[in-house]
Amino acid sequence: MRTKQLPHVSAALYGMPWSILPQSHAELGLLYRSYIRGELQPIESNPAAIESNPTAIAPSGWVSSGISYEADHSHGIAILHLSGIITKRAPDLMCGPQLIDLSKVDALLDEVANDDSITTLISDVSTPGGMIIGLEETAERIREISATKRTICYTDYQCCSAGIHFAYGHDEFYSAKSAIIGSIGTYCAGLDDSRAWEMEGLELILAKSGNLKAMGHPGKQWTPEEREWLQEQADSAGQEFRDWVTSRRPGVKDETMQGQWFKAAAIPELVDGYYRDLPALLADLMAPV
């Protein structure tokens, strides 16, 4: 992770709304804190050195993009393969999970929109969710494509939180019966490390203007006013998410949108049907009418 990206990552993790499985967000936090504590150190890029130090990361080991694209022009089908945590304009990281960068997805969607030979867009998704930034605009792009092309989202593994928001930009959403879907909800996670600073004999001297300025600053204790503001952000983003879901799936009940996730076969109101895998879906699409 480049040092200049640390504020970017910290602000994203602990100051912005997320729609993601909590376990995945916690893993990102552990990874970030391990790096800033110096527990992940770049070493020479050779297999023997890496094998002897499992916490090391090679200088060339940048996080891979969880995005690939293929087009079958003979059948008019474009497939976006999307795997990882949803984000937008992600910084360069030297370790961590695959990322679905919505700025890159948007560019591919524009390519699909401008290709007259493509009549069907399929998004093949596997994600625990991610940040909410960019979701609205990407869903809008997919809705524009839906005016002239068939749009389908599919998962055979996991489509949760922000993944559901993305999926419902499409006209159709299918899954494998055993796939995990749902986790409809939003939260903000703030990190209060003021006690840790105090135990280390550190004291933050902070001059600021504005009651909410410097909220979440390292070493600063969160005030009741700041906690209330953070809750308001989560409530607002969560309501927008639920409104989006019910606008696309009117049959989904409020009790289904409380942050829990489901085996897809147990919650048919969230999907339009089931396919064992992507080839089965493609075979159905290409079958003679």
Q: Give 148-175 pLDDT, tens digit per residue.
A: 999 999 999 999 999 999 999 999 999 9
Strand stretches in the chain, DSSP E: 18-20, 67-72, 77-83, 85-87, 99-101, 120-126, 129-131, 150-155, 158-160, 172-175, 180-182, 261-263, 273-274
Q: What is the pLDDT of residue 91?
A: 66
Percentage of the chain with pLDDT > 70?
A: 84
Of the chain, the end-to-end C-alpha distance in Å amounts to 52
Type of residue found at 51: E
pLDDT digits (tens, 9 = 90+) for 68-113: 999 999 999 999 999 999 999 876 655 567 899 999 999 999 999 9
User: What value does the mean pLDDT of the chain take?
Assistant: 87
Query: What is the CATH architecture assignment of 3-187+250-284?
Result: Alpha-Beta Complex (3.90)
> Domain boundaries in the chain?
3-187+250-284
Written as six digits, the tokens of 178 are 């055993």
Residue 107 has which token pair? 């560019």
pLDDT tens per residue, range 6-36: 555 677 777 788 899 988 888 888 877 776 6
Instruction: Classify 175 as helix, strand or coil.
Output: strand
